[in-house]
Structure 1
């Protein structure tokens, strides 16, 4: 039995909560995973996991051994990287998740630079607005917008996004332009709902110390940035969209900004990754790279709020 491999498999089974998911994450047959765990328990003469037909749970001895395994495996990886070219030229498969809008508008256009720097990294980029369980789904790190609720993750704040209230001319020509947020109650709005809770997000507005937060009427609610934008462009209602994604549509006349003297609450953007894990070189360089990309992006940088989108700004 390869003891280090068995430790890796054991950690994966605990993190994934079962043999099937761990086998998928490690690209091993489920039978091999089960056999290695049995051999490890035999060598240690200790039961590490409770198994039932429905779930796998860790024993008290298993929990103690799990913590030791994490430290040992981290030390081994660090020793290997310090003696290899990995530190200078990270290599391997990297699994990253990012929100649809940020992935398409910011990350993907910048990737030629990333691959030029790190040609030996293979990237699997998942693009979705749903919350992803990093450990269960075998994700190395994720870009997340909004306030974080998962305390089991290490987070680095890398940017901030602002929103613009806007609508298609086809909608405004038919229904008119609101002059105050309260007038939105008489309009149709394109709403956004959480993939995790199903709850529709409320809208917020601030001006000169006055703050409004309210649910708004609408015939449609979506949970994906691309389809949300498509609904607004189709004239289905007024929407609030990421500032920098609105720019080209304002420039070509497909969208018009509204309530320009009101602002909305900005959302922080973080890169998150599981704690109790050694931060590998490939994850480390990606986190540093994405922080650099965001710091150079006018719509995401932390320091100054970006200007509101206008055709003039785009022309410049």
Structure 2
């Protein structure tokens, strides 16, 4: 039995909550995962996991051994990296998740530069507007916009998203142009709802100390940025969306800017990763690359006072 591999498998089973998900995340046959856990328990002469047909849970001995395994595996990886060129040339599979619009408009077009710098990294980029469970789904890190709600994650703020309000010319020709946020209550607005909670987000506006945060009427609500934009272009209503996604449509006239004197509260953008995982070289270079990419993007750049390019903070 390869003891280190067995420890890695055990940690993955505990993190993901089952043998099947652990096997998928590690790209191993499920039988291999089961055999390694059995061999590990036999070698230690203790039961590490409770198994039922519906779930896997860790025993008290298993919980203590899990904490030791995390420290040992972290020390091994650090030792390997300090004696190799991994820091200079990181390699291996990197699993990342990012919001659909941000991935399509900013991350993916810049990936040739990332691969030119790090040719030995293989990237699996999940693109969706739902909040993935990094540990359960075996994701190394994620780019997220908005308030952080998971205190088990380490977060680095890398950018900021600004919003603008607009509508298609066909909608404005039919329903008119609002001149004040209160006018929106008499319009059809395209709403966006959380894929995690189902809650429809309020719209907010501010100007010279005057503030509005209001729920708005609408016939349709969506939870995907591509679908949301498509609804706006189809003239289904007024939309409020990130400026970097709307700029091409505003430039060519497919959408028209509304309420230009009013601003909406910007959202911070973070890269997050689990705090109980060793920060591998491939994750580290990806985080640094994203921070650099956003710092050079006029629509994503942090104010200088907020930019701390080497600081990681616990998400709150």
TM category, shorter: over 0.9
* Secondary structure at the counterpart of residue 276 of structure 1: coil
Task: Please give the alpha-carbon distance, in whole angstroms, between the structure 2 residues aligned to 1:198 and 1:161.
Answer: 22
Task: Please give the alpha-carbon distance, in whole angstroms, between the structure 1 residues aligned to 2:276 and 2:13.
Answer: 15
2:9 aligned with 1:9, yes or no?
yes
Paired position in structure 2 for 1:179: 179
Task: Please give the alpha-carbon distance, in whole angstroms, between the structure 2 residues aligned to 1:255 and 1:62.
Answer: 58
Paired position in structure 2 for 1:123: 123
Paired position in structure 1 for 2:32: 32
Task: Please give the alpha-carbon distance, in whole angstroms, between the structure 2 residues aligned to 1:208 and 1:286.
Answer: 39
* Secondary structure at the counterpart of residue 227 of structure 1: helix
Paired position in structure 2 for 1:311: none
Paired position in structure 2 for 1:193: 193
Aligned length: 304
Structure 1 residue 171 displacement after superposition: 0.3
Task: Please give the alpha-carbon distance, in whole angstroms, between the structure 2 residues aligned to 1:209 and 1:237.
Answer: 27
Task: Please give the alpha-carbon distance, in whole angstroms, between the structure 1 residues aligned to 2:30 and 2:77.
Answer: 25
Structure 1 residue 247 displacement after superposition: 1.1
* Secondary structure at the counterpart of residue 112 of structure 2: helix
Paired position in structure 1 for 2:50: 50
Paired position in structure 2 for 1:291: 291
Task: Please give the alpha-carbon distance, in whole angstroms, between the structure 2 residues aligned to 1:157 and 1:85.
Answer: 28
Paired position in structure 1 for 2:146: 146
Task: Please give the alpha-carbon distance, in whole angstroms, between the structure 1 residues aligned to 2:207 and 2:59.
Answer: 56
Structure 1 residue 42 displacement after superposition: 1.1
Paired position in structure 2 for 1:82: 82
Structure 1 residue 177 displacement after superposition: 0.3
Alignment of 1:254-273 (within 5 A): 254-273=254-273
2:206 aligned with 1:170, yes or no?
no
Structure 1 residue 148 displacement after superposition: 0.4
Paired position in structure 2 for 1:314: none
CA RMSD of aligned residues (A): 0.9
Structure 1 residue 291 displacement after superposition: 0.2
Structure 1 residue 176 displacement after superposition: 0.1
Task: Please give the alpha-carbon distance, in whole angstroms, between the structure 1 residues aligned to 2:89 and 2:177.
Answer: 55
Structure 1 residue 120 displacement after superposition: 0.8
> Any runs of at least 4 consecutive aligned residues in structure 1 with deviations exceeding 6 A, and if so which?
none
* Secondary structure at the counterpart of residue 272 of structure 1: strand
Task: Please give the alpha-carbon distance, in whole angstroms, between the structure 2 residues aligned to 1:132 and 1:276.
Answer: 17
Paired position in structure 2 for 1:70: 70
Task: Please give the alpha-carbon distance, in whole angstroms, between the structure 2 residues aligned to 1:49 and 1:69.
Answer: 14
* Secondary structure at the counterpart of residue 154 of structure 1: strand
Deviation by residue 1:101-130 (Cα, 9 ceiling, x = unmatched): 110111011111111111111111111001
* Secondary structure at the counterpart of residue 285 of structure 1: helix
Task: Please give the alpha-carbon distance, in whole angstroms, between the structure 2 residues aligned to 1:168 and 1:258.
Answer: 10
Paired position in structure 2 for 1:309: none
Structure 1 residue 85 displacement after superposition: 2.1
Alignment of 1:17-28 (within 5 A): 17-28=17-28
2:231 aligned with 1:231, yes or no?
yes
Deviation by residue 1:227-252 (Cα, 9 ceiling, x = unmatched): 11111011000000101111111110
* Secondary structure at the counterpart of residue 250 of structure 2: helix
* Secondary structure at the counterpart of residue 40 of structure 1: helix
Task: Please give the alpha-carbon distance, in whole angstroms, between the structure 1 residues aligned to 2:201 and 2:232.
Answer: 16
| Gap runs ≥5 in structure 2 | 305-316
| Gap runs ≥5 in structure 1 | 305-316
